[in-house]
Amino acid sequence: MKLLLIRHGESEADLLGVHEGRADFPLTALGERQAELMATYIAETYSPQLILTSPLKRARKTAAILNEKIGCELVEEPLLKEFNNGVLAGLSREEAAIKYPLPKGGRPIHVPIQDGESELDIRFRAENVLSKILVEYQEHDVVVLVSHGGLISNLLNSFLRQPINTEFIYPTGDTGIHLIETKNQKRIVWYLNKQEHLIGIEDSMKLSR
């Protein structure tokens, strides 16, 4: 089974400079265009049988744009939501630093943000949803997961069986694509954070204005 892990396009939170997480901002016009270009690339390169998406607006819209291109089954999966950042959701970074500063030495991985998750919680959620997908959808050749940067990074660490306190992170740009595969009891990484579909997008957006 091949898994395409795809981050949503640019959201309004990216322009506002706020903590996003569980704050439910929609895509910007640029974000929708990014999703369209990603969808064209996926449609021309792969044949997914299923799209699983986070129900948050920015991911759900990205997944809907992709589904318009390929027309396969689309299912909302709550476990694919971004890190639950609790009281930080929607706050500017400046305000958050004043109201909810990090503890000295950082927050231990077992301690959740107020009203949110801990690092252990999101890793367990990633392990949970990855196991669910590999078992329940194993008859599919290609499955797309549309999610968020933090959850995708945890999914990759889960896939690679990294320890919970690993130092490895996997940044994902707008509509960045990671391709991984399970085959003959092997776990294969084909590529990470592919964004070639966005080459020239800024110029094309300027021309359309």
Query: Any catalytic annotation for residue 8?
Result: yes
CB 43 within 8 A of CB 71: no
Rounded distance between C-alpha atoms, residue 29 and residue 10, angstroms: 8
Residue among 8, 148, 178, 197 flagged as catalytic = 8
Query: Any catalytic annotation for residue 44?
Result: no
Q: How far is CA 99 from CA 89, 91, 95, 96, 119, in A?
A: 13, 10, 6, 5, 20
Runs of H (alpha helix) within 114-162: 119-136, 149-159
Residue among 10, 20, 82, 117 flagged as catalytic = 82
Rounded distance between C-alpha atoms, residue 190 and residue 141, angstroms: 15
Q: Which residues participate in catalysis according to the annotation?
A: 8, 82
